[in-house]
Chains A and B, each alone.
Chain A
Amino acid sequence: MKRFAFAAATLGLLATAAAIATTTAAAGDYSPAPPPEKLVTIFSNLGRAYPEAIYYPFAGLPVLGPNNANGAPRLDIATAFTVDADHTATKIQAALLYASGTQRADVALYTDNAGAPGTTLKTWRVQNLSNSVCCDVVTVRAPNGIKLHAGSTYWLVAKADSLGPDTVLRWAYGTTDEVHARQFAQYCSSDQGGSSCGDQNDKWLSTFVLPAPAFAVFGSD
């Protein structure tokens, strides 16, 4: 049996400034997504209508530790969402898939600052990241809740932590909207290794991405 990846190739152009990471499929490499709970969906682009494709695991945005095996600089990825009413976030899910290195990362919720991640509201240390083709998600919780305010923009950030400098992850794309670009930001740093970030070193660079990395924010009204 042969397998082929849907990969960057001679015909193509990359969708965003950030590189698209692709992989091949592994047959039967499937973990069912966690069952939904009785929470309000504050934001979601996880494709819950199809449990075997809640995200597209074969392509996404890379999250890189500073000493990753790819020889690339550290790269943090952030995706924005705007809250349409006051909510309290208690659970966040993100389609972060392990690729290589240490199986850990930080997931963090940030406020917005002039169109880029601003102040950290909460950081979660995540270990034992999955590399199932589908449909595991990283789930983090805030039992006491995090207040989100109507009309405000927040950022979900994924980045390598200090204990996983060689981490390589892929934040897989959503399967619900291939039309509307979503605001995202990437933080590039070549301070500890990897190729140069040029004049964008140690800065958040905001742009738009289509399709957007898949994630969901749940909570209460």
Chain B
Amino acid sequence: MKRLALAALMLSAVTAATAGDYSPPPPPPQKLITITSNLNTANPKAVYFPEAGRGIHGPQNFQGTNEVAWAAAFVSGANHLVTRIDVPILYFIGTPRIDVLLQLDKDGVPGPVLKTWHVKNVTNTHCCGLVSVTDAEGIPLHMGATYWVVVKSNAQGQDTSMLWMPNTVDVVTEGAVAFYCSSDVAGPACTQNDKWTSLTHAPALAFGVFGPD
């Protein structure tokens, strides 16, 4: 059994805790089924772990580090329609806008885009607000197929830095994630510049995908 204490990683961050800094999560999806979710619904004041998360950075972020996007994969257990996705994204600095995307899988990393949501006014509630995006018509998912929820900066928020928080319902099972690194504008050289890199880790990033059936 091996443990590594890593003091500082470019792609990670810790936020400050503030007592009482609480926004309730959005109302639970009404009459929607859970296609996948690792949001801590049993403990509405700990829907996710807000102290440390993955950094999402625009290319002109204030830290002067790489442009970074993150993605989390899930496999659809049946044919479904997606009408809502909840992601615990907390604002850190810069323009409070990001894109949330649903993408197909291509060779184990995010592939063709099914839908992009432009999200404004992302806040830092510490806990337990969620970025919640919806699609009225529903986006079809096919049984057994892998999909990716992607969070990245957009053209209107190139200086943004956000955090995507890990889950508090299963710290054992590794989740499939991918990150996109670009050093075209700033930051040290990326191992795979302008490409997605897949990995697995625990705890998985927190998110929920919901639909009518």
Contact = CB atoms under 8 A, between A and B. Distances in A.
Interface of A: 1-16, 20-30, 47, 49-50, 52-53, 56-59, 99, 131-135, 173-181, 208-211
B138 interface: no
Nearest to A210: B17
If over half of A's interface residues share one DSSP class (helix, strand or loop), that class is named, otherwise mixed; here it is loop
26 contacts: A1-B200, A4-B11, A5-B5, A7-B8, A8-B7, A8-B8, A9-B8, A9-B55, A11-B55, A15-B15, A23-B4, A27-B202, A52-B169, A52-B173, A53-B203, A57-B171, A58-B166, A99-B3, A133-B171, A134-B171, A173-B49, A175-B169, A177-B45, A179-B20, A179-B127, A210-B17
A50 B40 CA distance: 9
Contacts of B3: 23-24, 26, 99, 131
B127 A178 contact: yes
A127 B55 CA distance: 38
If over half of B's interface residues share one DSSP class (helix, strand or loop), that class is named, otherwise mixed; here it is loop
A29 B174 CA distance: 11
Contacts of A52: 169-173
B50 interface: yes
* Best-surrounded residue of B1, B42, B170, B202 (most CB of chain A within 10 A): B202
B46 A13 contact: no
Q: Classify chain B: how many residues form its interface, as a range.
A: 35 or more
B9 interface: yes
Contacts of A26: 1-3
* Best-surrounded residue of A8, A10, A131 (most CB of chain B within 10 A): A10
B85 interface: no
B16 interface: yes
B168 interface: yes
Interface of B: 1-22, 40, 42-43, 45-55, 63, 65, 92-93, 126-128, 161, 163, 166-174, 197, 199-203
A56 B171 contact: yes
* Best-surrounded residue of B48, B52, B63 (most CB of chain A within 10 A): B52
Given A11-B161, A180-B19, A56 B168 contact: yes
A11 B46 contact: no
Nearest to A132: B1
Contacts of B170: 50, 52-53
A176 B173 contact: no
B127 A3 contact: no
3 closest A-B pairs by CB = A12-B14, A49-B42, A11-B13
B212 to A, nearest CB: 26
B45 A2 contact: no
